Amino acid sequence: MSQTGDAQPHFRTIALIVGAAMFMEQLDGTVLATALPSMAHELGVAAPSLSIALTSYLISLAIFIPVSGRVADRFGARTVFRGAIVVFTLGSILCGQAPNVPLLVAARFFQGIGGALMLPVGRLVLMRSVAKRDLIQATSWVLIPAVVGPILGPPLGGFIVTYLNWRWIFYINVPIGILGVYLVSRYIADTKEDGPRGFDIPGMVLSALSLGLLLFGFELASHRETVTMALVLLGIGALAGVGYVAYARSATDPILDISLMKIPTYGTSVIAGAITRITQGAHPYLLPLMMQLGFGFSAAQSGLMTFATALGSIAAKPVAPTILRRFGFRDTLMVNGFFASAGYAICGLFRPGWPPLLMFGLMLLSGFFMSIQFTGYNTIAYDEIPPERMGTATSFYTTFQQLMLSMGICAGAAALEGAMFLGGHVHPAFGDFTAAFWTVALISLTATIWNRRFSHEAGTEISGHTPRTYQSPQPAGVPDDLNFEESKDDRFRRPFRHLRDR
C-alpha cells in the first residue's frame, strides 16, 4: 500500500472529518422526509408520489457502494473521498434547483453517487489512517456526527419548512461540503493499494440489480397499498442475490467478496451487526411517529424528545474504550446487547401519563447502550482484515449496513401495520406501538446468539483487554517451573477433550 501526504494528524481529527461527511449524508435523508408534504405542494403532486425521491437515492447507494473500495484502491482514498463530497454537494445544489419531480429524482440519484462513496471510503480512510491501539476511540468519535444527523433531521426539517423554504434543506449542505473538501485536502493522506484490480462488471450488474430491487422493495413494503409490488421486487432481488452468490463463488476477484465472511471476527460482526441494525433502523421511524400521533407532539417537540438518544450516544463515546478494555469485545457485546434491546423495548411502554423527564432519561440510556454496541461491531470487524483487503471489506460492510437499516424501517412499519390489523385499528393505538417496539427489540436480542461466537481473545490488540486465565493443576511428574495456563474457553472445553480426541 502506498501513501502520500503530510505528517499524520491526530486520530480524533481524522475521525471528526469522516464523521462530518457522514453527518451531512445522514442529516439529508431525515430532513427530506419531514419536508415531503411541503415539497409535494409546491411541485403540484401528491405527497406519496414523492417517495421516489427517497428511493432513487437508495437505489444509487445500492449500485455504487460495492464499487467504492475498488475506486478508492485505484485512485486513492483521499482523492475519492474528496470527490465524493464534491459530487454530494453538487447534487444537493441540483436538488434545490429542481423545478419538477423528474429532475428532482435525477438530482437525488446523482447525489446518491456521492453518498455511496462517502460512507465506505470514509470508513476506509479511518481504518488506513489510525493505529489499531486508537481504533476504538476513533470509531467512537466518528459515530458522534453520524448518529446526531438522523436525530437533528426532523426538528431541523420542521424549522426550515416552517420559516424558510424546503429548498434550503439541500442548500445547507453547501457550506458543510466546502469545509469538508478543505479539511480532507489538509489532513487526510492519499492511500492507495499497489496494483489496482478491475471492476468486475458481471458482479457489479448482479449486485446492483439485487441490492437495488431489495432496497426499493423494502421502501415500498412500508406502505400498505404497495405491498404486492414490494413482494414482487423483493422476490426478483432475492433471485438476483442468489445468482450473485453463485457467481462470486467461482469468480477470482468478485466485487462483493463473500469469502470475507470466513474471517471469524468479520463474519460474526457483519451478521450480529446486521441483526441489530434492523432495530436501529426501526427506532427513528417508530419513536417520532408515536410521539406525534400518540402524544400529540409537534414535529419540533418530537424531535427535541428523541434528541435524547443522540445525547446518550455522545455520552457513550468517551467510556466505550474503557468498557471494551475492561471486559473485552465478546463479554461487552453480549451483556450490553441485552440492555440495548431492553432500552428499545421500554420505549414501547411510553404513555401520556409518564413524566417527560423519565422518558427522556430512558431514551438517553437507550442511545447510550446502543452506541456502545455499534462501536464494538464497527471496530472488531476489521481486527483480522489484512491491509490489501481493507477496501473490499469496508464496501462489503457498508453495503450490509445500508441494507439492514433500510430493512429496519420496513420491519418497524410492517410490525406496526400488523398490530393495527390484528387490533382492527384504522389509526395506530399505543398497544400497536408497544407490539412494534417489542418485535424489533426481540430481533436485535437474537444477535446474542452470534455474539457468543466471538472468542474471548478477539480484538485484544485493539482494546488492550487481557483475557482472564485459569491456573490448571500441574500434571504429575512435570517440573514446578513449567506454568500451564488456560483461557476461559479452554477451561470450559477441557472436560470434553476426550470426546474430541476420539
CA dist 258 to 143, 252, 253, 270, 408, Å? 26, 12, 10, 11, 23
pLDDT, mean of residues 180-201? 73
Place of cell 474430541: 500
- Give the chain's radius of gyration (CA, Å): 23
Q: What is the pLDDT of residue 151?
A: 63
Burial state string for 240-266 with b = 16 or more CB within 10 A and e = fewer than 16: bbeebeebbeeeeebbbbeebeebebb
Name the residue type at position 393. A
Q: pLDDT band for 468, please (50, 70, 90 cuts).
A: low
Residues 295 and 375 occupy one common structural domain: yes
On whether residue 289 sits in a domain, the answer given is: yes
Residue 484 pLDDT: 39
Q: Which residue has the cell 426499493?
A: 216
Evaluate whether residue 36 is within a structural domain: yes
What is the per-residue pLDDT for 145? 66
Q: Residues 89-139: pLDDT tens digits?
A: 999 999 989 888 889 889 989 998 998 888 778 777 777 777 767 777 777
Average predicted confidence (pLDDT) for the chain: 79
> Rounded to an integer, what distance in angstroms lies between the CA atom of residue 376 and that of residue 370?
10
Total residues found in the chain within this entry: 502
Q: Is the domain of 25 the same as that of 142? A: yes
Domain check: are 111 and 18 in the same one? yes
Contacts of 354 (CB under 8 A, 6+ apart): none
Provide, rounded to the nearest whole percent, the portion of the chain with pLDDT above 70: 80
Q: Which three cell numbers stand for residue 287?
A: 419513536
Average pLDDT over residues 297-324: 80
* Listed residues 199, 222, 245: the one ending a domain: 199
CA distance 175 to 457: 45
The pLDDT-based confidence of 223 (bands split at 50, 70, 90) is low
Residue 215 lies in a domain: no
Answer yes or no: is pLDDT of 388 > 80. no
Q: Are residues 182 and 266 in the same domain?
A: no
Pairing type for strands 190-192 and 469-471 reads unpaired
Q: Is 10 helix (H, G, I), strand (E, B) or coil?
A: coil
Residue 410, domain member (yes or no): yes
Q: Is residue 309 part of a domain?
A: yes
CA distances in angstroms from 117 to 21, 23, 61, 79, 325, listed in the order given? 11, 14, 8, 11, 32
pLDDT at position 490 is 45
Q: What is the number of structural domains in the chain?
A: 2
Do both 142 and 8 map to the same domain? yes
d(CA 447, CA 151): 24
Beta bridge partners of 486: 470
485 forms beta bridges with 471
**Both 282 and 169 in a single domain?**
no
The answer to whether residue 250 is domain-embedded is no
Are 194 and 263 part of one and the same domain? no
pLDDT score for 494: 41
What pLDDT, on a 0 to 100 scale, did the predictor assign at position 485?
44
39 exposed, middle or buried (CB, 10 Å; 0-12, 13-18, 19+)?
buried
Does 268 lie in the same domain as 150?
no
Closest by CA position to 95, among listed 87, 107, 106, 83: 107
Residue 288 shares a structural domain with residue 386: yes
Residue range 409-466, pLDDT digits in tens = 778 877 888 898 888 888 888 999 999 999 999 999 999 889 999 988 888 878 778 7
Answer yes or no: do 195 and 269 share one domain. no
Query: In this structure, what C-alpha cell is assigned to residue 236?
Result: 426478483
Residue 71 falls within a domain, yes or no?
yes
- pLDDT value at residue 436: 92
Query: Which of 199, 218, 245 finishes a domain?
Result: 199
pLDDT at position 398 is 78
- Cβ–Cβ under 8 Å, residues 138 and 110: no
Torsion angles phi and psi, residue 4, rounded to 5: -130, 150
Domain with 332 in it? 259-470+484-502
Which among 157, 184, 199 is the end of a domain?
199
Pair 178, 266 in one domain: no
CATH (domain of 134) = 1.20.1250.20
Report the half-sphere exposure of 493 (CA within 13 A, side-chain side). Answer: 9
Which contacts of 230-239 are long-range, i.e. CB under 8 A and separated by 24 or more positions?
Answer: 237/209, 237/210, 237/211, 237/212, 237/213, 238/210, 238/214
- Has this prediction a pTM greater than 0.85? no
Q: Report yes or no on 228 lying in a domain.
A: no
Pairing of strands 2-4, 190-192: antiparallel
- If asked whether residues 192 and 332 sit together in one domain, one would say no
Q: Which of 78-87, 312-321, 390-399 has the lowest mean pLDDT?
A: 390-399
> According to the model, what pLDDT value does residue 198 have?
64
Cell numbers 456526527: residue = 145
